[in-house]
Amino acid sequence: MTAATLTAMSPRRLALHRMLRHGSFWFGGGAILLILLVALVGPLFTLDPVAQNLGARLIPPVWDVRGSWTHPLGTDQLGRDLLARLVDGARVSMFIGVATVLVSGLIGTAMGMAAGYFGGRVDLVINFLITIRLTLPVVLVALVVVAVVGSSLTVLVVVIGLLLWDRFAVVTRSATQRLAYSDFVIAARAIGSSTPRILLVEILPNIVGPLIVVATVEVAHAVLLEAALSFLGLGVKPPLASWGLMVAESKNQLLFRPWLIAIPGVALVTLVLAINLLGDALRDVVAPEGRA
């Protein structure tokens, strides 16, 4: 492509163009779509993920000589179908990831925009809140809250959401600061637009790029945190499946049946890696000048 065609393209088309040529975008986005599809329609095809069958415990996956197609990935120590639980776990991970980021994104963006736009004391207070948030050890605080309040998906979403807003705030703050004195914002103020209107109509659409990048990273962060909490026994409660919980339940099988850990483990790594790759691709498109 020549420089002439590049300049002839609108910024949006240019971004799209760059995106479609990005390997990470296709790999990451493809894997996420696949997992999302599995999470949505998978349960229609799999066995009951919570049905126990003590007569069929610890069957190995189908590639083992003792495996069978009834349980393609084998069964766990309670005789539950591993594939069904894996699909169920995909639903939990996806739900936690997306729902949490809605909560943390809303909090972080509101705080970051306020700090960046108003500056002064508001900025000082919000920076202080960010510092406090960073001082709290995330895993520990989440564990305490879940232990005290009790565990449910809602509690997990709220707790993780309340803990992971800091990066949203930091990024939107500096993005808003850059825009607060730009010509179009000054113009909007001059024609008498209200502050909420300036924030929502003028500034917000212009910081969507970095916002999406942070959101992607934070989905991965939330998925990992849920897995860690479930692994520690204070996340998703059985019989609901979660990949972290599946690893924890099979921890003592590491010696003889490592696949029980490897299967949910690979699923988890694939999902997080895919999200991170998508995030990298988005960052290259949104802020190509900052490419490391």
Partner 1 sequence: MLRFLARRLLVTLLVIACTSVLAFSLVHLSGDPAAAMAGEGASPADVESIRRLYGFDQPIHTQYFAWLGKILSGEFGRSFYLRQPVVSVLAEHAPVTAKLGLSALAFALLLSIPLGILAGLYRDTVIDRFALGLAVAGQALPSFLFALLLVYIFGVQLRWLPISGSATWLHFVLPSVTLGYYAAPALMRLTRSGMIDVMQSDHVRTARAYGLPAWRVVLLHALRSAIIPVVSLAAVQLGFMLGGSIVVETVFSLKGLGLLAWQSIQRSDIEVIQSILLVIALIYALLTLLADLLNALIDPRIRIS
**Binding footprint of partner 1 on the chain (CB under 8 A):** 128, 131-132, 134-141, 143-145, 147-150, 220, 224, 227-228, 231-234, 244, 247-248, 251, 254-255, 258, 261, 265, 268-269, 272-273, 276-277, 280, 292
* Distance of closest approach, residue 151 Cβ to partner 1, in angstroms: 12
* Distance of closest approach, residue 27 Cβ to partner 1, in angstroms: 12
Q: Whose Cβ is closer to partner 1: residue 46's or residue 93's?
A: 93
Residue 222 CB: number of other CB atoms within 10 A? 26
In three-state secondary structure terms, 9 is: coil
Q: Whose Cβ is closer to partner 1: residue 8's or residue 144's?
A: 144
Q: Whose Cβ is closer to partner 1: residue 200's or residue 254's?
A: 254
* Distance of closest approach, residue 271 Cβ to partner 1, in angstroms: 9
Q: Whose Cβ is closer to partner 1: residue 38's or residue 138's?
A: 138
In three-state secondary structure terms, 123 is: helix
Q: Whose Cβ is closer to partner 1: residue 39's or residue 227's?
A: 227
Q: Which two tokens stand for residue 45?
A: 């095809």
Please state, in angstroms and rounded to a whole number, the distance separating the CA atoms of residues 46 and 34: 16
Q: Whose Cβ is closer to partner 1: residue 198's or residue 245's?
A: 245
* Distance of closest approach, residue 274 Cβ to partner 1, in angstroms: 8
Please state, in angstroms and rounded to a whole number, the distance separating the CA atoms of residues 87 and 93: 10
Please state, in angstroms and rounded to a whole number, the distance separating the CA atoms of residues 213 and 56: 45
73-77 long-range Cβ contacts below 8 angstroms, 24+ apart? 73/263, 74/259, 74/260, 76/246, 76/249, 76/250, 76/260, 77/249, 77/250, 77/253
Report which DSSP code applies to 61.
Answer: P
* Distance of closest approach, residue 55 Cβ to partner 1, in angstroms: 28
* Distance of closest approach, residue 172 Cβ to partner 1, in angstroms: 20
CA dihedral 257, 52, 38, 231 (to 10 degrees): -60
Q: Which residues pair with 81 in a beta bridge?
A: 75
